[in-house]
Each structure stands twice: as structure tokens, then as C-alpha cells.
Structure 1
Amino acid sequence: MVPSDTVTRILDAAEVLFAEYGFSETSLRRITGRAEVNLAAVNYHFGSKQALIQAVFFRYLDPFSVDLHRRLDALEASEAGASNLEGLLDTLFASVLEMPSNNHDLRTFMKLLGLAYSQAQRHLRDELRSHYGNIFSRFLKLLRQATPELADDERFWRLHFMLGSVIFTLSGLNTLRDIAEHDYHQRITIRELAQRLKPVALHALRAPVADVTPACVVDHHLDSQVASHPKTGTHS
């Protein structure tokens, strides 16, 4: 169903303002002013500010999910197969770079994605899991096949560190381009930037596993030391 002109104007305004000011700091009044509609139009089409926030994300992620499913189908059918880590990352990067949107501003969406995790938007994260859990689960299953040497918790951390790098890099695209041109006399496209980013993501997933001692074990060890040397301890 093609959205009405009013719905499109509201979503366009909300998207830009949320990315610039944050979700909590952006009022519906500011959105309606930019979209040149009245508050009743927002309530009629979306019902609430939470629903509007979710609709901004769905506009990007619905076509992205379809595209990534299609690319994963092709990857699994290829000779290399989905267990190829580099091929899996290529597939993800291709879908991200080709992410359809009304204004094709990937930077804005990446800012929004970062805000979804840095601000108190539990309702949004729950909705994203509900709507796109199948594509995330599929990608994670293939990632597990491509990195069998990693424990599930280690894979979880590395995946989120990698996604954090992608979001930070693509949301700051203009700044990075300015730095590259001013300091290194390089003019870089978004695809060239993605090619520079890919080996970083690849090595992050392939790096040796660090020996990380859980904090609870360290605390228990310190408590044992204090107990065996009571003079160094503090007693109430």
C-alpha cells in the first residue's frame, strides 16, 4: 500500500528530527511543524509517538529484510555456501548499502539505529525483535556455521562490536569524508569506505579469543585474599 502524502511528510520530518535531536527530545509539535500538518493527523495515522518511532524504522527495515533474505538465499545456493564468513559479510554489507529508502540517506538511518540502543527505547527494541527476529535468527545461524570456533557468548559480543563499528562509520560518513580529503587528499565513496571497513569486521570475528576472567571470579578471589589476611580487611 502506497502511503499518503501526509504520512510521507510526517515520516520524513520525524526521521530527520529524531536523528538530529533524539527520540525523547523531539516533540510531536516540532514534527508537525516541520511536516506542515496538525497534531490530529499524527494521531490519526499513527496513534502515538511510540508508533511513529516504530514506523520510521519499519520504512527502512521492511525492504531491507526482504533484500537480505533474497541475498542469503543466493549465498546458500552458491558454490561457496553460507559457511564462508567473507561471503556472509559481503552479503550483509551489500544489503546495507543497497538499503531502499524514500530519501536514500543511509547516514540518517544509521544515526537512528545507534539511538535505538543508546537511548531508553525498550519498546522499539522489542518491536524490532518481534518484526525482524526471523532474519536476525537466520543471519546468526549462518554466522554460527561460519565461526564454529567461537562460543555463543563470544560470537554475540563480536557481532555487536562489529555492528557498532558499522553504525559509527556510516552515520559519520560526511565527517570521515572531510577528514580523508583534508588530511590525506582522498575522495572516498561510501562503497570504498565499506571495502575498508570489511577487513576490520572480518578480523574482528576471526581474532583469537581473549582470556577474559569474569568479574564474579575476580571478586571471589579478592574476597578470599581478604579473608586469609584479616588485618588488611576493613571491619565494621
Structure 2
Amino acid sequence: MAQKDTAKSILNAAEELFSERGFAETSLRNITTRAGVNLAAVNYHFGSKKELIQAVFARFLTPFCVDLEQVLKAYEEGLQERTPQLPELLELLAATALKAGKGNPRRIGIFMRLLGLAYAQSQGHLRRFLRQEYGTLFGQYMNLVTLASPELTAEERFWRIHFMLGATVFTLSGVESLTAMAEHDLGQTTDTAGVMSRLVPFLSAGFAAPHQADS
């Protein structure tokens, strides 16, 4: 097996197993068995399990962020004096994610499961890696979100962003099951893009809902 193919096989196996079992519950032996390689190949290509986890995220996020950077630049140039709008910003994310997963529709669901695990499991190295590699771009995006929601305090915006993220991860991590249920219960055939087209206005409405102060 060529070195490039070996690295790809390891990434494929790691991506699937991490999303199925979690990071701590997946051993390097599990990954090498599924990939059909030996442990030396993992050490050669990735160095450690932590670096392999980071590489799994980078395989999706790096091309995603390359596209998002271009999209945001065009969006900001088109704003001129106009205030950014949250529905537009969410549509940009959705369209960029769909483009990133175009070659394999399952990849968005797998990545969302991994993202949920990154929040739920203790992976401090991964959070540091994500901030270091992608923090500037996502900071730029969040600045636009702030401009689009001047009525919210920083605290309220924090909660609403994380509620949106939670709803997105939950919905898209199980998108295959959700589309199957829609077909069975409603007789409607849809796909990831169709689910996103319904999710974005739902998230926008929730983010813009009137704030009820704590009693």
C-alpha cells in the first residue's frame, strides 16, 4: 500500500471508530485492525493518538475553512454600510459545510458526531489545536455575529450560540436516521441539504427570540 493510501486508510478508520465509540474508547489497535495496517504506520504518519485525532478534524476543517475564508471576504465586501444578518451568516456556514461534504454525504454527520464528542469528552489538546489553527477565522465570523445582534449582551449571545451549536450537532449527527424517519412517518424523501434548509431558519428564530431576564 502506498504511503498516501496508508495515511488515508488510517484516517478513514479513525474517523469512523472515533465517531462510533468515542476518543477514549477507541484504541490505536482498534484503528490499525480496521485500517489493515500495523502500529508503526500510525506512528510514522501521525506520531501519536492525539495527533491522529487532530488530523481527523483537520481533514474536514482545513478545506472547509479555506472556502469559508473566501466566502466571508466576499460577504464583507458586499456589505458596504449594511449590517450583517444572522440568517445570511448561517446560510454561509451551511453552504460551505455542504460543499466540504459533497464528495461523501455521510461526512457531515460523522464530523458533527466528532464535534459533539469534542465537547462532551475531555480533549483539551483538541480545543487548543482548533483555536490555534482556526481561531482567527472563526473569530472573524463571530465578530460578524456580534454585529448582527447588537441587542444581545455578550452573556446572552454566548448562550444562544451554544444552544444553536447543540441543536446543529444533535440534528446533523443523526441526519441519516432523521431523513429515514421523515420518509417513514411523512412519506417525504429528503437529504442533508434539505434538513439544513429547515434547520437554518429554526436556528435564526431561536437566536432572535426575545430575551426573558432571570427572575
After TM superposition, is the score higher than 0.5? yes
- Within 1, Cα distance between the matches of 2:115 and 2:68? 17
- Within 2, Cα distance between the matches of 1:153 and 1:95? 28
Aligned alpha-carbon RMSD (Å): 1.6
Q: What residue is the counterpart of 1:9 in the other structure?
A: 9
Give the secondary structure class of the aligned counterpart of 1:78. Answer: helix
Q: In terms of mean alpha carbon deviation, does 3-12 or 96-105 score higher?
A: 96-105
Give the drift of 1:82: 5.9
The TM-score normalised by the length of structure 1 is 0.85
Aligned-residue sequence identity (percent) comes to 50
Q: What residue is the counterpart of 2:206 in the other structure?
A: 204
- Written as runs of structure 1 = structure 2, the 5 A alignment for 1:79-158 is 79=79, 81=82, 83-100=84-101, 103-104=104-105, 105-158=107-160
- Within 2, Cα distance between the matches of 1:172 and 1:94? 19
- Within 2, Cα distance between the matches of 1:79 and 1:119? 39
- CA distance change for structure 1 residues 134 and 99 in 2, over 3 Å: closer, same or farther? same
Q: In terms of mean alpha carbon deviation, does 74-83 or 36-45 score higher?
A: 74-83
The TM-score normalised by the length of structure 2 is 0.93
Give the secondary structure class of the aligned counterpart of 1:87. Answer: helix
Q: What residue is the counterpart of 2:192 in the other structure?
A: 190
Aligned residues: 211
Gaps of 5+ in 2: none
- Within 2, Cα distance between the matches of 1:17 and 1:131? 24
Q: Which has the larger radius of gyration?
A: 1
Gaps of 5+ in 1: 214-236
Give the drift of 1:155: 0.7
Q: What residue is the counterpart of 1:71 in the other structure?
A: 71
Deviations 1:191-218 (A, max 9, x none): 11111111111011111112125xxxxx
Give the drift of 1:102: 6.7
Q: What residue is the counterpart of 2:173 in the other structure?
A: 171
Contact 1:180–1:186 at 8 Å: present in 2 too? yes
Give the drift of 1:79: 4.9
Give the drift of 1:129: 1.0
